[in-house]
Amino acid sequence: MGFPTKVQLIQRKDSQQWYINFPSAVAQAMEFARGEIVEWIIEDKNRLLLRRRKTSGAALKKTKRSKG
C-alpha cells in the first residue's frame, strides 16, 4: 500500500527548501524517533531510498523485562 505525499517548495530570496512530510502511519510503522538521523540515497530518478544511519533504540524490537 502506498502513501501519496506532496512535494513542497519554499522559495526564499537566496535559497530554496524542499520538503517531503511522512504520513503519521509511515512514521509510526518505522518507529522514527524525534531528531533521528536518516540518509537519502538516490537509486535513480524514480527511486529514493531512506536509510537509518544507525539503528536507534526505537527501531529495535521492544521487549518487556520482568522485575526480579
pLDDT at 59: 52
Please name the helix (run of DSSP H) or strand (run of DSSP E) that holds residue 28, with its range, or none: helix 24-30
Cα–Cα separations (whole angstroms), residue 24 to 14, 17, 29, 41, 67: 32, 21, 8, 22, 33
pLDDT at 63: 47
For 37-61, the pLDDT digits (tens) are 999 999 999 999 999 987 655 555 5
For 21-34, the pLDDT digits (tens) are 989 999 999 999 99
> Domains of the chain: which residue ranges?
7-54
